[in-house]
Amino acid sequence: MSKIPVMELFGPTIQGEGMVIGRKTMFVRTAGCDYACVWCDSAFTWNGTEKHRVRMMEPEEVLDEMVALGGNRFNHVTITGGNPALIADPMARFIDLCHQRGYRVGLETQGSRMQEWFLQIDDLTISPKPPSSRMETDWAVLDRIVRRLHDDGVNLSLKVVVFGDEDVEYAKTVFARYPYVSQKFVQPGNELVTEAKDISHHLLARLAWLFQVAIDTPEFNTVRVLPQLHAMVWSNERER
Amino acid sequence: MSKIPVMELFGPTIQGEGMVIGRKTMFVRTAGCDYACVWCDSAFTWNGTEKHRVRMMEPEEVLDEMVALGGNRFNHVTITGGNPALIADPMARFIDLCHQRGYRVGLETQGSRMQEWFLQIDDLTISPKPPSSRMETDWAVLDRIVRRLHDDGVNLSLKVVVFGDEDVEYAKTVFARYPYVSQKFVQPGNELVTEAKDISHHLLARLAWLFQVAIDTPEFNTVRVLPQLHAMVWSNERER
Ligand code: SF4
Ligand code: SF4
């Protein structure tokens, strides 16, 4: 495959979560995922409902469209999915093109597999999925990926989306397993991903809950608790 | 003076804004400010209304009280005010004590003056005040402080609170003046600091406005737009 299966390409917008929260970025959302989290907020990338919208694009085309959309109003690009780690060479090429233009490149992926181009990423978030997702973490694979990225000096963060107490325990396990990763995040899960209306009240209540969990938990002393700002500001609006 | 004028000492809670947004911390809020911003959200630290609550404390006492409150549930301390930069030796001693215990120490100050102990701070935010505050920036002083901190390798951020278009222009000026400071933040001002009720809706509308400003502004390509999460979650509740 020499092309990238692009589900959405949009921006500039504001990264609403995680290690570069608040920073302006363009989003490239790839189609396809090896997981099927029950609460996935991007299920349209893999459940077939929007298959007709997927475009197979050359890396150069993706870059051109991004520049057409964003002009000089951005210098950061976020690759997300689905799971972008399913894509090999064309993604490496795309990242090179971005770097040639002076853009920083971020990635969000669950850590179920790795590509060599991960080592070129400027802001990399591994987001292992907790029990509420109904997915199983392959710890041996995750161990190898996190270790490799850390040893290579990649700017790496771990982020766990948390819906309830069992997920809190999972987050503790993840953070304890990789003590050498200093950037650690928890994020309240969005239970209303199909709701079109203003969900900010609900999200703030979930954030208050997770704040309190962190306050009470010594294991979260260095963990940062952050919401999804975009969902609070723009609800579940697509391509925002 | 060998003591610290402490207005409030509370936590653990979650840092709601700026460079360590989302991180658990203890707050030490000092009394006294050389500014009098019209929209100051901590005017009780300097306008005399709560003078009777100020406690003159030895650095060791501050540490002890902090540990009594937080136990093993924190390892980060945020010094704020008022303007903590008005305090010399006892603050240096307090920071030493924190470091001996293994805590990281953050500081928020407006950049009107500097203390040698700034160089010991782990997460330092300089927050110059825009025109809406009715304060005047002394650029010569600010230049010296920012340069010194940068040259000394301090983990430094610039944060500008923004109420309207004139403040946006001021923020651009600040960021352009110190291009070597890579961590830059803008934050929507809170116009309802005396409101006791839920103000999250208003704050989210202001955040949406500032998101759009950033999206449209090439000068904000590397600037991060962040709200005050604590005010969204806990309104203007004190000591949260
Ligand atoms: S890994 Fe991410 S994209 Fe894939 S199913 Fe889970 S939440 Fe959705
Ligand atoms: S510098 Fe800070 S504490 Fe002082 S008056 Fe202004 S906002 Fe208030």
Can you spell out the DSSP letters for B69-83? HHTTS--EEEEESS-
The answer to whether residue A214 scores a pLDDT higher than 90 is yes
Q: To 5 degrees, how large is the angle CA A49–CA A51–CA A56?
A: 160
- The predicted complex's ipTM stands at 0.94
End-to-end CA distance of chain B: 29
Residue matched to tokens 């090896």:
A34
- The chain B residue lying nearest A199, using CA atoms, is B201
Is B127 close to ligand 2, i.e. is its CB under 6 Å away? no
Contact B218 A20 (CB under 8 A): no
pLDDT for the residue numbered A1: 63
If one counts every other C-beta atom within 10 angstroms of the C-beta of residue B60, the result is 12
The answer to whether residue B194 scores a pLDDT higher than 80 is no
pLDDT for the residue numbered B1: 63
Q: Which amino acid is at B139?
A: W
Which of the four pLDDT bands, split at 50, 70 and 90, describes residue B163? very high
Looking at every residue in chain A, the average pLDDT score rounds to: 96
Mean pLDDT computed over A174-189 = 97
Per residue in A110-126, pLDDT (tens digit) is 999 999 999 999 999 99
- The chain B residue lying nearest A14, using CA atoms, is B211
Residues A44 and A29: beta-carbon distance below 8 Å: no
Q: Which residues contact A31 (CB under 8 A, 6 or more apart)?
A: A5, A6, A7, A45, A46, A51, A54, A81, A82
Which of the four pLDDT bands, split at 50, 70 and 90, describes residue B191? confident
Contact A73 B215 (CB under 8 A): yes
Residues of B in CB contact (< 8 Å) with A are 12-14, 20-24, 72-76, 185, 200-201, 204, 207-208, 211, 214-218, 220-227, 229, 232-234
For A92-122, b/e burial (b = at least 16 CB within 10 A) is bbbbebbeeeebbbbbbbbbbbbbebbebbb
Contact B222 A185 (CB under 8 A): no
Q: With the C-alpha atoms ordered B64, B70, B76, B77, is the resulting torsion angle positive or negative?
A: negative
Residues A7 and A30: beta-carbon distance below 8 Å: yes
Residues A196 and A170: beta-carbon distance below 8 Å: no
- Between the alpha carbon of residue A1 and those of residues A9, A52, A60, A89, A90, the distances in Å are 19, 19, 15, 8, 8
H/E run at residue B207 = helix B200-216
Range of lowest pLDDT (A42-46, A188-192, B177-181)? A188-192
Residues B130 and B155: beta-carbon distance below 8 Å: no
To the question of whether residue A98 is assigned a binding role by annotation, the answer is no
Ligand 1 centre to CA of A198 (Å) is: 23
Contact A224 B13 (CB under 8 A): no
Residues B78 and B26: beta-carbon distance below 8 Å: yes
Phi, psi (rounded to 5 degrees) for A27: -110, 130
Per residue in B45-100, pLDDT (tens digit) is 999 999 999 999 999 999 999 999 999 999 999 999 999 999 999 999 999 999 99
Among A154, A212, A206, residue whose Cα is nearest residue A183:
A154
* Percentage of chain B modeled with pLDDT above 70: 99
Which of the four pLDDT bands, split at 50, 70 and 90, describes residue B187? very high
Residue matched to tokens 């989302």:
B22
Per residue in A3-55, pLDDT (tens digit) is 999 999 999 999 999 999 999 999 999 999 999 999 999 999 999 999 999 99
- The chain A residue lying nearest B20, using CA atoms, is A224
Mean pLDDT computed over A58-87 = 98
User: Which of chain A's residues have a Cβ under 8 Å away from the Cβ of B204?
Assistant: 200, 232-233
| Collapsed DSSP state (helix, strand, coil) of residue B35 | coil
- What's the DSSP call for residue B174? H
Ligand 2 centre to CA of B83 (Å) is: 7
State the helix-helix crossing angle for B89-100 and B59-70, rounded to 10 degrees. 40
The pTM of this model reads 0.95
Q: Mutation test of ligand 2: which of B37, B113, B127, B142 has the most ligand atoms closer than 8 Å to its C-beta?
A: B37
The answer to whether residue B236 scores a pLDDT higher than 90 is no
Residues A127 and A40: beta-carbon distance below 8 Å: no
Ligand with the closest atom to the CA of B43: 2
Ligand 1 centre to CA of B229 (Å) is: 26
